[in-house]
């Protein structure tokens, strides 16, 4: 079995790394097409995933992004013709087109609602052989090629079958897992679907730093360049260690969808603030069905501060309650990496 993965974002490395390991353990071959986007390339190195870097992530807007897409697609086509995969998997806009040209099936894994990523949904889903989404998006109905699973991307790598948090990692930072420490996650919001999007306002970030800094150590994980006033809080560990630190955090706050979902499936108290709140079904399910995250729009920061203060007043109870909620969520969802392997085994001829 020869599979080609298109990994354009750090979260995509995590999404597929366990099934890549399984493929290689079973005697198959896996190759990743990557791009310089945050720590994507570094994570592939850390997890020993064979990769070819095809492009650098665009940060200049829609038209430069289109240029990157066309160049990247041509490079992926050349790579696919040389590697000759049995199938292509990923979350990219290119794999469906390349799969059609080389006559191989493509599996696109999406988790965002089509109206949140309309360009992606309208251009990618029609040309892919399989559209794979969380079950909470089954209402979008892409026909027989729409495959759904109960769960979330984050359960491909943070399910307890795969992930056991190591307390020695936070200790390496001088943190005691039993004592309060906090994470603040700030993203760049420069993807094509982030046009007109807004995240945590700078004034709110300052207030969060003030509130949390009084109760324990604060670490900031940022995609964008930090202001001078925040640099003393910069996260100092390799990216592959991040989830071990997140797992023992007393609270995580930020404007990242992915980190909010990661904190949620780990049972870490978390709040997110951006203009996507209320629009993304899988996060709404994590919030409304399981109570594992809480979202606020940028104009609702006062309510967010009040929630932070309430949680700080009873951290031990909040953390325990989140773990109880997490267990209920795990009882109703799947180990996504195992589900991916079963999907590959039954749909792709060896």
pLDDT in tens, 207-234: 999 999 889 999 998 876 778 888 888 8
Neighbours of 122 (CB within 10 A): 10
Alpha-carbon distance 113 to 282, whole Å? 8
Give the tokens for residue 71: 């160049």
Average pLDDT in the 119-124 region? 90
Residues whose CB is less than 8 angstroms from the CB of residue 337 and which lie 6 or more positions away in sequence, other chains included: 18, 19, 22, 156, 157, 159, 161, 162
3-class DSSP state of 198 = coil
* Residues 284, 268: Cα–Cα separation, whole Å: 17
The per-residue pLDDT for 90 is 94
Cα–Cα distance for residue pair 310/334, rounded to 1 Å: 32
Q: Could you give the 3-state DSSP secondary structure of residue 142? A: coil
122-171 confidence digits (pLDDT tens): 989 999 999 999 999 999 999 999 999 999 999 999 999 999 999 999 99
Classify domain 2-159+335-347 by CATH number: 3.40.50.2000
Q: In whole angstroms, what is the distance from residue 70 CA to residue 81 CA?
A: 17
Q: What would the pLDDT profile of 236-247 be if each residue is shown by its tens digit?
A: 778 889 999 999
Banded pLDDT at 61 (limits 50, 70, 90): low
pLDDT greater than 60 at residue 320? yes
Q: Which two tokens stand for residue 247?
A: 């797992």
Mean pLDDT of 273-295: 96
Backbone angles phi, psi at 30, to 5 degrees: -135, 140
Question: Over pLDDT 90: what percentage of the chain?
Answer: 74
HSE value, Cβ hemisphere, 13 Å, CA-based, for 106 = 24
Above 50 in pLDDT, residue 189? no
pLDDT reported for residue 192: 42
- 201: alpha, beta or left? (left if phi > 0; alpha if psi -120 to 50): beta
* Cα separations in angstroms, 118 against 112, 123, 163, 217, 283: 10, 8, 33, 40, 18
| pLDDT above 50 for 191 | no
**69-91 b/e (C-beta count within 10 Å ≥ 16 → b):** beebbebbbebbeebebbbbbbb
Give Cα separations from 62 to 59, 68, 76, 199, 271 (angstroms): 9, 10, 21, 19, 30
- 168-331 matches 2-159+335-347 in CATH topology: yes
Please list the helix, strand and coil fractions of the chain in percent, rounded to the nearest 5, in that order.
50, 15, 35
User: What kind and span of H or E run contains 154?
Assistant: none
d(CA 133, CA 153): 9
Domain-wise residue ranges, the chain: 2-159+335-347, 168-331
Domain 168-331, architecture per CATH: 3-Layer(aba) Sandwich (3.40)
Closest CA to 214 of 69, 312, 311: 312
CB atoms inside a 10 Å sphere around CB 152: 25
| pTM beyond cutoff 0.85 | yes
């Amino acid at each position: 079995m020869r599979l080609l993965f298109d990994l354009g974002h750090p979260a995509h490395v995590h999404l597929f790394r366990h099934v890549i390991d399984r493929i290689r353990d079973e005697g198959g071959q896996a190759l990743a097409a990557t791009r310089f986007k945050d720590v994507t390339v570094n994570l592939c190195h850390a997890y020993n995933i064979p990769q070819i870097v095809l492009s650098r992530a665009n940060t200049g807007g829609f038209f430069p992004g289109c240029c990157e897409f066309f160049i990247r697609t041509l490079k992926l086509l050349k790579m696919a013709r040389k590697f000759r995969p049995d199938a292509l998997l990923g979350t990219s806009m290119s794999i469906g087109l390349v799969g059609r040209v080389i006559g191989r099936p493509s599996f696109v894994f999406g988790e965002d609602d089509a109206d949140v990523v309309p360009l992606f949904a309208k251009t990618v889903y029609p040309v892919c052989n399989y559209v794979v989404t969380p079950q909470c998006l089954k209402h979008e109905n892409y026909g027989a090629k729409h495959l759904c699973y109960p769960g979330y991307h984050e359960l491909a790598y943070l399910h307890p079958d795969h992930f056991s948090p190591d307390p020695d990692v936070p200790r390496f930072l001088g943190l005691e897992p039993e004592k309060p420490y906090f994470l603040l996650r700030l993203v760049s919001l420069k993807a094509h679907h982030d046009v007109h999007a807004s995240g945590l306002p700078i004034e709110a970030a300052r207030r969060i730093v003030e509130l949390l800094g009084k109760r324990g150590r604060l670490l900031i994980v940022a995609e964008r360049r930090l202001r001078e006033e925040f640099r003393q809080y910069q996260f100092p560990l390799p990216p592959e260690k991040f989830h071990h630190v997140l797992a023992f955090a007393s609270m995580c706050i930020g404007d990242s969808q992915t980190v909010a979902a990661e904190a949620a499936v780990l049972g870490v108290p978390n709040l997110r603030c951006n203009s996507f709140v209320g629009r993304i079904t899988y996060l709404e399910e994590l919030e409304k069905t399981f109570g594992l995250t809480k979202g606020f729009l940028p104009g609702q920061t006062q309510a967010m501060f009040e929630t932070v203060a309430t949680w700080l007043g009873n951290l031990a109870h909040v953390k325990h309650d989140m773990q109880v909620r997490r267990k209920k969520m795990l009882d109703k969802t799947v180990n996504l990496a195992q589900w991916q392997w079963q999907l590959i085994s039954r749909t792709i001829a060896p």
